[in-house]
A = this chain, B = another copy of it.
Amino acid sequence: MINPNTTAAMTAAIGKCAAAAASNGTIITAVSPSMGPASIESHYDEALAVPGLLAEIADAEEEGSADGYVIACFGDPGLDAARELASGPVVGIAEAAMRTAAYLGRGFSVVTTLDRTRGRAEDLAAHYGLARFCRGVRACEIGVLSLEEPGARDAVLAECRRAVAEDGSDAVVLGCAGMADLCKEFTAELGVPVVDGVAAATRTVETLVSLGLRTGDRGEFARPPAKPYTGLLRDFQVR
């Protein structure tokens, strides 16, 4: 589990949710990059998070310590690059949450943090072919690192209720890794299925690994060509 931001408390919480979702026998390692933004709330943050995220994958690949990877940020930053780099499968939490929710009915709503991040979620829904299923992307205007503050839970829940009432959705997708711990309770309170991408992606990677499936590597997603990478804080040379 790679939390692409550098906030350790959030990484720990993600790891805990992933472990709760995982099958017996699966070992979850939650990490965050040594470089990057404290939270991801803009295209800019997302772009700056990616090199650190790729460094974590490169390290794990060198160590052979991971069978597969989850990118635990709802913008799925660096997903295509990660798929080139990793020998095992890589799954983003937006991708997994939205594909999983598509099994649950005609459509879902996404409830996310800041309004400015809604566009990215809409782009991803379109890119994954889920525009028809995604009936609304809603923001509760709470920053990623404020999700643990008093009142935040209620504000997210209230937006989820509006989604159910107004969008005609069969399910709700939580649009931030920092909301993972709310999933079970919200399902009970809302009366509709609520999908957390951290749990969904954890199980999806397990499934791909258990079925022997990984990114096809004979074309676009072959290992990147070796070349000089200069001036970066660490050695990004692909070997």
Where the two chains meet, the residues of A that have a C-beta atom closer than 8 Å to any C-beta of B are: 6, 21, 23-25, 33-39, 41-48, 50-52, 54, 78, 80-81, 83-85, 89, 91, 95, 99-100, 102-106, 114-120, 122-123, 126-133, 143, 164, 168-171, 184, 187, 191-193, 195-196, 199-200, 203-204, 206-208, 210-216, 218-222, 224-225, 227-233, 236, 238
Contacts and interface: CB of A to CB of B under 8 A. Distances in A.
Given A21-B210, A129-B130, A220-B116, A81 B192 contact: no
Contacts of A213: 100, 103-104, 171, 193, 195
B38 A229 contact: yes
B228 A231 contact: no
7 smallest CB-CB distances across A and B, nearest first, come from A170-B216, A35-B231, A129-B129, A43-B80, A42-B224, A203-B207, A44-B224
Given A95-B103, A170-B219, 20 more contacts: A21-B210, A23-B24, A35-B230, A37-B236, A42-B84, A43-B224, A47-B78, A48-B236, A52-B231, A83-B105, A100-B211, A100-B213, A102-B129, A120-B220, A169-B216, A193-B214, A193-B215, A193-B216, A195-B211, A203-B211
Total identical chains: 6
A229 B218 CA distance: 36
A228 B37 contact: yes
Q: Which of A36, A114, A225 has the most CB of B within 10 A?
A: A225
A230 B38 contact: yes
